[in-house]
Structure 1
Amino acid sequence: MYIIPCIQLDVVALLTCLMVYVHKNPKQDLGFFSDRHFNRMLWMTVIILSLDILSWLMEGYLPGHGHFAHNVVLALYFLIQTMLPLELLKYCLSICEVQLSKLKQRLLLLPATVNALLLVVNLFRPFAYRIAENNSYARMFGYLIIIIWPLFYILSSIAVCAVRSARAPHYEKETARKILIFILFIFASALLSAFLYGFSPWPMVALGLVYLYLNVHSKQTRELGLLAYKDALTGVRNATAYAFMMKELDAKIQAGDAAFSIVVADVDDLKAVNDRYGHNAGDQLLIHGAKLICDIFAHSPVHRIGGDEFAIILEGSDYAARDLLIKRISREMAYTTFPIAGREHYISIAFGIADYDSRVHRTCADVFKAADHSMYVDKIHRKRARR
């Protein structure tokens, strides 16, 4: 009997959608409209799969429920079947950065509104589908009227992504093409469902959403997340990433499992370089200074926490070799230069280090204060040595 395999496929697809939703963790979304539309598509797919399962059960395994109840379930099914492609179109518009006026947004809702009214009419005057005496579902002459609008939304989504793929910069073409592959996959499933009775497109939709999540949505979210924690000028981590790591270290301190050092580095002469050669030269000083710091502390996260100030968290191998690394700094600075106005200038960086000591430090901020103080002492000594 074909009902049981259909129900089994729907259940697997439903669980797949829920797993994607849990894995993507909506609490960590970055607030973009594409996140919202993707989440809505997931939940609409879950709802329509649930309605599909209920409809199959009513047809074969739940006698005595009444034809009208079955009709209502199918009406909701076809309503979501229209709303989901509409949400897909909104997702594509959001990803492709297409802005619509309020009038156009309302016009987009018009086909879905018409379909909803037709489904209400069908409850009392069947013309699109009906429930036969044996509780089985049967299509009627008006069936194409209620499925043409979902196809309209899907075709519109294809058009949006095709245009974006043709006109977008090279680095955005891949995203548009992957979304286009997903939509074409959904379109093929919808056509098979329209003309092949018994074929359910929703397991295919769930599979397509997994593809979309892995190849577009998740990748985009990861890239944006990385940008949120990256310093635009030097390429090292930024102050936001440092604050996040401080919280992790504080948790280790509370658990009694902390062994780390904090190094505070301050690039000397930034203001003097800015005043004499301009801010572009100052930027180059910071970039080369950050590179020197990263080369020395190759296995530790480097953060730019201020204009010319960096913080490095030493754990693991760098923590064990911290004394050797600090000695290496002076040697490296003696040979490291960068060009300004046709001349080579040496890079000077003041460093301070503090080791976490449970008898002295209660929080990570206490360790930072000690390292910062040590850095200022080193900075004063460097200034005196130049005189």
Structure 2
Amino acid sequence: MISYYHMMIFIIIIHCIVNFDTLVNRHYQYDTPVGKCFRMFVIGVIPLYVIDGLWGFFYLYRIRIPLMITSFFYFMMLAITVLLWIRLIYIRFSQITLYLIICYYSGIVYFLFTLVILVINIFNPIVFSVDQQGMYHIYLFRAVLLIIQSILFFASSLYLLHLMKIVDKNMHLHILARAMFGLIMAVMLLLHMTYVPAPFYSIGCLIATCCYYKFIVENLKDDHYQELDRLLRREQEYKKQINNIELIANTDPLTGVKSARAYSEAISEIDDLILKDKLQEFGVIVFDVNNLKSTNDKYGHKMGDILLMTAARTIIKYFTDNDLYRIGGDEFVVMLKGKQFTNRKMILADFETEIENNVKNKGVIIASGISIYRPRQDTCYRLIFERADLRMYDCKALLKVMEQSYH
């Protein structure tokens, strides 16, 4: 008999180890109704184990009053665990059938019935009694209570097995694990009815809980990880789509260079660097395509579009498209940074040489004006741009004169 409460200590330890994740993981506390119900069941059987272990100790040493008290609460915990178990099934499957709803309310009725019987037992022993010598005696209603519990477990398990015929196959493992839980408990209750000094019910709870954890909780974890993986892939796809949308929004559809939207974002970044006094080696070149209006009027907008695309390709020959923005109908801007800033004079000289040749050969004509950032004088990007814009208009006027002299 010493092994009885020693076994209960062992059962409690194994129960807590196997169900540690269920006991401490916030997912089972707050996430889903089924998760919360299962956690409640796992917690609920721990007092049963403790009371069962104490009962075994008091039974061994014939300690009368504690044995009576633990016996009373032991039968109460049996009823509570049945109720928690049927509630777990009800929460999961109540949308499928009325039968399980009836089982659930039968569990509530059984709990109340057990309470009434145990209260009667205090005055007139019909379940158990403990004599003055500490001997434990059992009566008819002990068997009645255990048989009713066994029937509730067995009936719910049979119906769960029946459900396997009408539900989707991916639910079969979940239903089978729950049904096996009930069948194990039903068998252990019958064994418990035939032999008192053995913790059959607690052993059944441990075995059934371990099976449930193995076939359902771990399976749910796998499903959860798969769902997380699916959500992660979806998030990556969304990010890719957002990046594509941003790329489209930041690209001028006609010329393929950066758009006015991207230009506004770049201005904000430059202004932020100026405000923090972190901007170094920076310049702006403003470009304006000559004769766009006359081309549109004379040859149509299609030819005007070709002129703009040709102008963009001409600028890209000398300046990277990553720093080139189309900011208006015929206006472009290059923000000079890094090597382009260092080599700006040579690059701009080569560009202006090509434009002069274009004036002679009736090619695309692009006016340009450059301005360099002056630390502690330029308090914002607009001041740099305005100087470059003024110089561009001077260049534009000069190119007009050159056009007239050649043609």
The two structures have a TM-score, normalised by structure 1, of: 0.56
Larger Rg: 2
How far does residue 277 in structure 1 lie from its aligned partner after superposition?
1.3
**Counterpart for residue 244 of structure 1:** 265
| CA distance 1:289–1:384, change in 2 (3 Å) | same
Relative to 1, partners in 2 of residues 1:3 and 1:213: Cα closer, same or farther, differing over 3 Å? farther
Tell me the secondary structure at the aligned position of residue 95 of structure 2.
helix
Match of 2:367 among 334, 350, 354: 350
By relative contact order (CA 8 Å, sep 6+), the higher-ranking structure is: 1
**Cα offset, 1:292, TM superposition:** 1.4
Distance 2:340 2:165 in 1: 63
Please report the RMSD computed on the Cα atoms of aligned residues, expressed in angstroms.
4.5
The CA deviation at 1:330 is: 1.5
Alignment partner of 1:204 is 2:226: yes
Amino acid at match of 2:159: F
Q: How much has 1:246 moved relative to structure 2?
A: 0.7
Q: Which has the higher helix share?
A: 2
SS of match in other structure, 1:346: coil
The list of structure 1 runs, each at least 4 consecutive aligned residues, that deviate by more than 4 angstroms after superposition, is 1-14, 50-53, 62-76, 119-124, 130-134, 142-149, 188-197, 334-337
Q: Please name the residue that 2:393 is paired with.
A: 376
Which AA in structure 2 matches 1:379? K
Distance 2:165 2:300 in 1: 64
Counterpart in 1 of 2:351? 329
Contact 1:301 1:313 in 2 (8 A): yes
Query: 2:299 aligned with 1:317, yes or no?
Result: no
Retained in 1: the 8 A contact 2:23–2:39? no
For residues 34 and 397 of structure 2, the distance between their equivalents in structure 1, rounded to whole angstroms, comes to 74
Measured in 2, the distance between the counterparts of 1:271 and 1:11 equals: 73
> Aligned partners of 1:202 and 1:142: how far apart in 2?
24
235 and 299 in structure 1: CA distance in 2 versus 1, 3 angstrom threshold: closer
Asked whether 1:223 is paired with 2:223, we answer no
Superposed, which structure 2 residues align to 1:9-28 within 5 Å? none
User: What is the 5 A alignment of 1:28-107?
Assistant: 48=31, 54-61=36-43
2:95 corresponds, among 111, 118, 126, to 118
Distance 2:265 2:380 in 1: 14
Mark the CA change 1:51 to 1:287 in structure 2 (over 3 Å): closer, same or farther: farther
Q: CA deviation at 1:10?
A: 12
Equivalent residue, structure 1, for 2:276: 255
Moved more, 50-59 or 64-73: 64-73
Give the conservation status (yes or no) of the 8 Å contact 2:260–2:327: yes
Counterpart amino acid of residue 95 in structure 2:
L
SS of the aligned residue for 1:231 comes to: coil
* 1:289 correspondence with 2:311: yes
Q: Which residue of 1 is the match for residue 58 of structure 2? A: none
Aligned AA for 2:315?
Answer: I
Structure 2 SS opposite 1:352: strand
Q: Which residue of 2 aligns with 1:20?
A: none
8 Å CA contact 2:318, 2:351 repeated in 1: yes
Q: Give ranges in structure 1 of 5+ residues lacking alignment.
A: 15-45, 79-114, 152-187, 338-343
Q: What's the counterpart of residue 267 of structure 1?
A: 289
Normalising by structure 2, report the TM-score.
0.54
- Structure 2: any 5+ residue segments left out of the alignment? 1-13, 48-76, 112-148, 178-214
Provide the identity percentage: 24
